[in-house]
Amino acid sequence: MAGLNATLGEECELAGIAMERATQALLQADLAIAEQVITDHEKITVLSADAEEQAFALLALQAPVAGDLRAIVSGFQIVADVDRMGALALHVAKVARRRHPAHALPEEVNGYFAEMGRLAVKMARAAREVLNSQDPTDAIQLREDDDAMDDLHRHLFTVLMDREWRHGVAAAVDVTLLGRYYERFADHAVLIGRRVVFQATGKTPEQFQEAEERLEDDYI
């Protein structure tokens, strides 16, 4: 299982790098960086296949029961989550490429996407860390950055709905789609955190937190 989680963690790191570069390509209208993200996506696809093979091998060869079986089933789900994170970074890069040499984003929303990109990269790296550590408390903390991402996403709509928006329908569609890509990237990182909690404890994050709170109350 440690080997499987290490592979998944490496895939999280690649997804974070892809989103970091895709954001750079988006903000700078940099075609070369966008093309690099698109080309490098194959590495994530290969790692997803490797992780699935490892999980199937554990099922077939180790005859896992109880906690081990729970961890392997969660591993399959995490493969899908990380693969989707990589695909979302790819979508961002493709938007940057499609609009080149123009910038896909109006200048007034650049700050939103710079911060959304920063949060996405931070969450991908945090997902890697909790996959390796299997620390349920750290895994739950991913939700805090997701709340910040959701706030940014909501604020984007206030910009789009402003009567002074002067960039037309095409730009509004791009901003809407791009905002959704970043929001979903963060959502999948949170799902990885939830699955790590289940792997490590057999509980949902809510059940784990409730149990921790009861322990604190008993201690007091």
Instruction: Tally the domains of the chain.
Output: 1
The residue type of 71 is: A
CA distance linking residue 205 with residue 143, whole number of Å: 10
**Measured distance CA(155)–CA(173) in Å, rounded:** 16
Predicted confidence at residue 57, as pLDDT, reads 87
> How are the residues of the chain apportioned to helix, strand and coil, as percentages rounded to the nearest 5?
90, 0, 10
Question: What gap in Å lies between CA 64 and CA 68, rounded to an integer?
Answer: 5
Burial of 131 (0-12, 13-18, 19+ CB in 10 A): buried
Give me the pLDDT at residue 14, please: 97
For residues 20-34, average pLDDT: 97
CATH, residue 97? 1.20.58.220
Please give the pLDDT value at position 215.
66
pLDDT digits 0-9 by tens, 35-82: 999 999 999 999 999 999 998 888 887 666 667 788 888 889 999 999
Q: Which domain holds residue 44?
A: 2-219
Residue 68's alpha-carbon distances to 7, 62, 71, 111, in angstroms, are 17, 9, 5, 44
Is 217 a residue whose pLDDT tops 70?
no
Q: How many residues does the chain have?
A: 220
Please report the pLDDT score of residue 60 as a whole number.
80
State the Cα angle at 9 between 3 and 10, rounded to 5°. 95
Question: pLDDT tens-digit profile of 71-85?
Answer: 888 889 999 999 999
Each residue of 115-147: pLDDT tens digit?
999 999 999 999 999 999 999 999 999 999 999
